[in-house]
Amino acid sequence: MLLMLAALQLMALPICHAVAIPNPKSGAYNDHPHDINPPLPGLWYHTEDHPVNSLFRRAPNDGVTYAPVGSPTWSSPFPQSSPNPSALPVEWVSALNAAVAAGKIPNIPQSSNTPGVNPVYPPSVNPSGPEVCSATYKCRNPADIWDAPTGVFASSFDDGPLPPTTQLVQFFNSNNETTTHFMIGINIINNPQQFLAAFTSSHDIGVHTWTHPYMTTLSNLDVLGQLGWTIQLIHNSTGGRVPKYWRPPYGDSDNRVRAIAKEIFGMDTVIWNQDTKDWSLTTGGTTLQAVQSSMQQYLTGPKSPGLVILEHELTPQSVAAFISAYPLIKGNGWSLQSLTQLYGGRSYQNAQGSSSNDVVPAGVLVAQNITTSSSTLSTSQTATSTSSVVPTSTPSTTHNSAISIQHCPYIWRLLCLLIVILATHLA
C-alpha cells in the first residue's frame, strides 16, 4: 500500500507542476498586469559594427526563398497596371475593415483632380484644417516628415527605378554615399536590373505607390492597393524587408490617406521642404540653370532646418542636376545622408538597412503566398468608398483536432485532482 501511495504521489507531482505553469495564450497568464518590466531603451538593437554581431550573426534575409528578381515567376502575381480594388489580398482588406471599425481611418471625402491642377475637395471641406490636413495645401501633420535635422542634406530620389537610376547609383557608389529611392511599383516590374543596382549597393528603398496617382482622389480600397502591392513587391525583392517610409506622388496626402498607410502598413509619410522642379526639366517647366540657381540658394542658406529637397531619377537631366550640385553640398558643410536612415536609424520596419544582417520575418500583412479575396464589393463601393467598412470573402470554417487541444489543461487538472484524492483515501 505504501508503495502504491508513493507511486501515485510521484505521478501527481509532474502533472500538477505542468498544470501550474501558465500558458502565454491562456487567461491564467493574462489575468494580472505585466507592466513591471522597465521600458526598452531608445536603441533596442545592436548596431551593425557591434562586437556581438560577430558571434551571433542574423540572416541578411528572412529565410524564405523568393523568385529571382526579374523572372516571370517574380512578376506574375502583381498588377500590370492600376491595381484592381476587387482583387486585393484578404489580409489587407480585413485590416482596413478593422481600422475603419475602430475609428482609426478618418471619414474624409475623396478629392477630385484635373491633370495639372491640385486636387479639389468638396466646398464644405477645408483642406488646410486639422481634420483633413492636406499636404498638397501645405498643412503639416506632426507625424509627417518635412524637414531634416540641422545641417543634414536628407538625400532621396523619386520615380525610379528607370534607366537613369544606373548612372545615379554609380555616382553615389563612387563617392561612398547612399541615398533613398522612393520607387514606383510598376517601374520595379519594368526595370528590375536598375532596382537591383540600387538595392545591392546598400541604397534604401521606400514606397512611391504602384502607378503614381493623386492619392487623395482614390477610395480607401484603391489607396490600399497602391500601397500594398508596392510594399509586397519590395518585400519579395529584398529578402523580406518591409519599407518603413513612403512618399505620396505630388505630395498629395491627407489624414485619411496617411492613416491607411500607417494603420494598415505601418509606414510613415515623407514630404519635402524644397522643390527645384527638376521633374520638369524635359517638359519646359524649368531649366538646368534654374535648378542650379535654386540649389545654390538652398545650400548656401541656413542649415536649420536641414534640407529635404524633392529630387528625381526620372531623366538623365534630373540626375545630372544633382551630380552638378554635389560639390556644393559637400563644399558648404552639409552632411549628406540617406533620408530613411535619419529617423530612428532603421530604413525598414524589420531590418536596419538593405545590407544589414537583422531581417525579421514580416507579419501577416505581407504574405508569401499572395491570395486575393473573391470580393463582394459593389461597383458603387469600389468607386466611392472612403471610410466605409469593406466586405471581404467569408473564410471557410473547419474543425480539426487542434481545437480540442485547448481543453487539454482541464483534463490534466481533473486527472491530477483524482490522483490526489485517491492518494489521500489510500493513506
pTM reported for the whole predicted model? 0.76
DSSP one-letter string for 147-159: -BPTTEEEEEEEE
Q: For position 121, what pLDDT does the model report?
A: 97
Does CATH number 3.40.1390.30 belong to domain 72-115+125-384? no
Q: Cell numbers at residue 311, please?
A: 529630387
Whether 351 and 241 have beta carbons less than 8 Å apart is answered as yes
Average pLDDT over residues 249-270: 97
Question: 315-347 pLDDT, tens per residue?
Answer: 999 999 999 999 999 999 999 999 999 998 899
Asked if residues 349 and 243 have their Cβ atoms less than 8 Å apart, the reply is: yes
Q: 211 or 381: which carries more pLDDT confidence?
A: 211
Q: What is the pLDDT of residue 116?
A: 76
Report pLDDT for 62: 86
> What pLDDT sits at residue 66?
93
117: pLDDT confidence band, cut at 50, 70 and 90?
Answer: confident
Residues shown for the chain: 427
Q: Residue 336: beta bridge partners? A: 153
List CB contacts of 109: < 8 A, sequence separation 6 or more. Answer: 121, 122, 125, 386
Distance CA 125, CA 256 (A): 13
Residue 135 confidence (pLDDT) above 50: yes
Residue of 38 and 290 predicted with greater confidence: 290
Predicted local confidence at residue 97, as pLDDT: 97
275 with 309: CB under 8 angstroms? yes
Q: What is the CA radius of gyration of the chain?
A: 27
pLDDT per residue as tens digits for the range 5-46: 444 444 444 444 443 333 333 333 333 333 333 333 343 333
pLDDT score of 137 more than 70: yes
Note the pLDDT of residue 303: 97
pLDDT score for 398 = 32
pLDDT of residue 114: 83
Residue 225 contacts residue 83 (beta carbons within 8 Å): yes
Question: Tell me: the pLDDT tens digits for 348-358?
Answer: 999 999 999 99
Domain boundaries, the chain: 72-115+125-384
User: What's the mean pLDDT in 393-404?
Assistant: 31
Query: Which of 216-225, 254-263, 272-281, 401-410 bottoms out in mean pLDDT, i.e. has the lowest?
Result: 401-410
pLDDT one-digit tens code per residue, 172-229: 999 999 999 999 999 999 999 999 999 999 999 999 999 999 999 999 999 999 999 9
pLDDT in the model for residue 416: 47
Nearest to 264 by CA among 368, 366, 347, 182: 366
274-275 vs 245-246, strand pairing mode: unpaired
Higher pLDDT, 424 or 401: 424
Mean pLDDT of the chain: 80
By C-alpha distance, which of 80, 87, 66 is closest to 235?
A: 66
Distance CA 246, CA 181 (A): 10
Q: Show which residues are catalytic.
A: 158, 312
In terms of DSSP bridges, do strands 180-183 and 274-275 run parallel, antiparallel, or are they unpaired? unpaired
Confirm if 204 and 341 have CB atoms less than 8 A apart: yes
CA distance 355 to 61: 9
C-alpha cell at 343: 529617423
Q: Which residue has the cell 491633370?
A: 115
Q: Predicted confidence band at 54 (pLDDT cuts at 50, 70, 90)?
A: very low
Distance CA 351, CA 373 (A): 29
Percent of the chain's residues with pLDDT above 90: 67
**What are the residues whose beta carbons fall under 8 Å from the beta carbon of 314, sequence distance 6 or more?**
158, 159, 160, 162, 164, 278, 279
